[in-house]
Structure 1
Amino acid sequence: MSAAPAVEVRDLHVTLDRTPILAGIDLTVAVGEWVTVIGPNGAGKSTLLRAVGGLLAAPGAVALFGTPIESLRRRDRARVVATVAQSPVVPPGMSVLDYVLLGRTPYIPSLGRESAADLAAVHEVLARLDLTGFVRRELATLSGGERQRVFLARALAQGATLLLLDEPTSALDIGHQQEVLDLVDQLRRENGLTVVATMHDLSIAGEYADRMVLLAAGRVAAAGTPREVLTERLLAEHYKASVRVIDGDHGPLIVPVRRR
């Protein structure tokens, strides 16, 4: 008997403020797989991630590791899935260390305090993300790229087996983009982490994803390997973009071409 997939989405419909956002999405992500969801603005990428993470009600449509998401208590769900949102709410005056420690909340007893193991897990993640020198800094004093790494650190400190990344590199320079994604990929291979991400940078998306899903107007327009999805025809059709697709070592490289 084969193991249950990490994520199983069946006929997912989401309507927000009477506007249909997702219209019958099917998606299966195997344990240990990296799937990146792409698509033009307004396609429903972030909404899909929120539904998979349990932040939007989707009764009967989403299962994580074989368990319907609505049957998971919030604390249990937090041990399974961690989300890095595009713009997380940052409590005023909070230090980097205290913010990343929030990732350990599912393991701390009610009215209890963090353990030595919790602190060790947090400091290990901070070191791997080059954030050790920021532990006493207030989050509000950091640059956008530094904050983005702190948001990822909190998710990684959570120790979840499924990581949902909503535009995880949008505020990072190219060097830190590679560092963050290389780290996520290393953790995925070492620890069997499953990754579902949304990304705008199509070349970077194709470098790291095992599979890609192209959303357009709330539906799956294409799915497959990066080479199957990142084609000049599909990108012209759904992004209205003029590009050249060059085959790279790990996936297609997308080069915008100026229109005449």
Structure 2
Amino acid sequence: MIRVEGLGVTLGGSEILTGVDLTVSAGEWVTVIGPNGAGKSTLLRAVGGRLAHRGSISLNGTHVSALSRRELARTVAVVAQTPVVPPGMTVIDYVLLGRTPHISPLGRESARDLAVVDGVLDRLDLAPFVGRLLATLSGGERQRVFLARALAQEAPVLLLDEPTSALDIGHQQDVLDLVDDLRRDRDLTVLATMHDLSVAGEYADRLVLVAGGRVVATGPPAEVLTEELLTTQYRARVKVLKGAHGPIVVPVRS
């Protein structure tokens, strides 16, 4: 479970988030949406223990500031928009980094660690790339590698910051279906950010609309993805259609 109470974040002298309250239950998928600059990525970075903040953030009942780096890595896995990639690293070595929290400081990967990584690589269609350098992959291929490392951590909380931004529609579906399957199988708690509102509504149990650093709406996709709210908060002309799982948001030309 993720619990955020009265979250405030200031960066470079600017107030990015103010008074944000958010709860994500175990096994729930919540996606944060909002216009550019709303504070979505900042919210995920704070929840992941990567930003100084005001207010309270707890993961599975423990305040994030009370967790050691190793404990934090065992609790929460993060897929950032632009992860730092060490130069000269191969796909297999990068994904194996996800097992680091489970390996003793002087130990090495066990058979189970290798099996977990092999399974994730297969599910994400990455097995043919294991010996390739990350620098030689396309943006979409690297995006899947970043997700593979996070899933290899087997943490109960998964934070996804625009996880499908570089993927074609087929791999978008593959990645999100995999996350959804793992969430159900492992009772995984998922907190994501997405720009594609239709995709967000298709997969999330709840949406949280953030604008100006504050939560302005929260609820099931059908209650948040309304023409009135989207027109007001995004200053966009849209048509919202009823879909099989969630609303479909279509931009409309003037």
Which of 125, 129, 135 pairs up with 2:130?
135
Which of 162, 169, 173 pairs up with 1:174?
169
- Specify the alignment match of 1:164 in structure 2: 159
Q: Determine if contact 1:59/1:70 at 8 Å carries over to the other structure.
A: no
Unmatched segments (≥5 aa) in structure 1: 1-5
Q: CA deviation at 1:60?
A: 4.8
In structure 1, give the amino acid aligned to 2:78.
Answer: T
**How many pairs were matched up?**
254
Q: CA deviation at 1:225?
A: 0.4
Distance 1:59 1:154 in 2: 30
Once the two structures are superposed, residues 23-49 of structure 1 have per-residue CA deviations (whole angstroms, 9 ceiling, x without a partner) of 110001100000000000000000000
Once the two structures are superposed, residues 33-80 of structure 1 have per-residue CA deviations (whole angstroms, 9 ceiling, x without a partner) of 000000000000000000101011236510011111111111011111
Deviates more, 1:56-65 or 1:170-179: 56-65
Which of 74, 87, 106 pairs up with 1:79?
74
Once the two structures are superposed, residues 149-197 of structure 1 have per-residue CA deviations (whole angstroms, 9 ceiling, x without a partner) of 0000000000000000000000000000000000000000111111000
In structure 2, give the amino acid aligned to 1:143.
Answer: S
In structure 1, give the amino acid aligned to 2:235.
Answer: K
Which of 171, 179, 183 pairs up with 2:178?
183
Q: Determine if contact 2:8/2:19 at 8 Å carries over to the other structure.
A: yes
CA RMSD, Structure 1 to Structure 2 (Å): 0.7
Output the TM-score relative to the length of structure 2. Answer: 0.99
Q: Determine if contact 2:158/2:189 at 8 Å carries over to the other structure.
A: yes
Deviating 4+ runs (over 6 angstroms): none
Q: Secondary structure at the match of 2:233?
A: helix
Q: CA deviation at 1:117?
A: 1.0
In structure 2, give the amino acid aligned to 1:122.
Answer: V
Output the TM-score relative to the length of structure 1. Answer: 0.97
Write out aligned runs for 1:1-260 (5 A).
6-58=1-53, 60-259=55-254
Distance 1:220 1:59 in 2: 16
Q: Determine if contact 1:95/1:137 at 8 Å carries over to the other structure.
A: yes
Distance 2:169 2:187 in 1: 26
- Specify the alignment match of 1:3 in structure 2: none
Distance 2:39 2:234 in 1: 14
- Aligned-pair identity (%): 70
Q: Determine if contact 2:7/2:54 at 8 Å carries over to the other structure.
A: no
Distance 1:110 1:92 in 2: 23
Once the two structures are superposed, residues 189-210 of structure 1 have per-residue CA deviations (whole angstroms, 9 ceiling, x without a partner) of 1111110000000000000000
Distance 2:55 2:213 in 1: 19
